């Protein structure tokens, strides 16, 4: 993982370079990329870290549709704006937030992130963009309920980092199992070692692994 402030941003040109690089690794990668087509990784660089972390918490251990529903109910509590401020969340009746579908643990994490944003622990976007990946991970994983995967999703989708491999992600590991037709998925440690060969395009590699058909 990059740990400098000059991390590569995932532009369209970088995606095309990544496709060529990954396709050159072996026939499995080449065939999968040919079938899947160009990388269409969609990022949300306008989202502040505070918002991105709360959205990631909402989707933890849920299918996308379930996460969409819970988050949608929360956003409906604040109809006059795109996303509530930390002050608004902290002023909201916790029971109203629970009724959106958040577990007690997730609600505690979300309110903790709101507190941390006010205290400056969660940086603003411009500060986060200038911080090394490892520093961001160490700072943000100190928050309750925020694990490495959550911060890595923030790095991939908000900061548009090009070389992030979330080795704890089941979809990444199972995608590699299907790509290579293995009997079992690699462990996170094995996935980390395997992914070294994909630098500096590990985010694009993850994107393609997420798209392995379930039948393969």
Helix (H) or strand (E) holding 111: helix 104-119
Query: Among 52, 18, 19, which residue's Cα sits nearest to residue 159?
Result: 52
Q: Contact, 122 vs 53, CB < 8 A?
A: yes
26 closest CA partner among 176, 138, 185: 176
Q: Kindly state the tokens that stand for 12.
A: 């369209």
Phi-psi region for residue 180, left (φ > 0), alpha (ψ -120 to 50) or beta? alpha
Q: Which of 93, 169, 174, 193 is catalytic?
A: 169
Q: Which two tokens stand for residue 203?
A: 């985010």
E strand intervals along 101-179: none
Whether 17 is catalytic is no
Residue 95: other Cβ atoms inside 10 A:
8
Active site amino acids: 169
């Amino acid at each position: 993982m990059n740990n400098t402030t000059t991390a590569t941003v995932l532009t369209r040109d970088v995606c095309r370079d990544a496709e060529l690089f990954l396709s050159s690794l072996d026939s499995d990668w080449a065939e999968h990329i040919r079938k899947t087509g160009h990388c269409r990784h969609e990022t949300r660089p306008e989202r502040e870290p505070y918002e991105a972390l709360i959205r990631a918490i909402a989707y933890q251990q849920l299918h996308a549709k379930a996460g969409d529903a819970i988050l949608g109910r929360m956003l409906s509590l604040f109809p006059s704006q795109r996303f509530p401020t930390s002050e608004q969340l902290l002023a909201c009746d916790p029971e109203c937030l629970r009724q959106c579908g958040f577990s007690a643990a997730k609600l505690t994490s979300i309110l903790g992130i709101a507190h941390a944003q006010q205290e400056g622990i969660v940086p603003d976007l411009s500060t986060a963009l200038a911080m090394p990946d490892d520093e961001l991970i160490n700072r943000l994983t100190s928050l309750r309920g925020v694990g490495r995967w959550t911060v890595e999703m923030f790095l991939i989708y908000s900061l548009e980092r090009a070389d992030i491999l979330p080795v704890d992600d089941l979809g990444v590991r199972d995608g590699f199992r299907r790509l290579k037709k293995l009997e079992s998925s690699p462990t996170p440690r094995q996935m980390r070692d395997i992914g070294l060969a994909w630098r500096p395009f590990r985010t694009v590699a993850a994107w393609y692994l997420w798209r392995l058909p379930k039948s393969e």
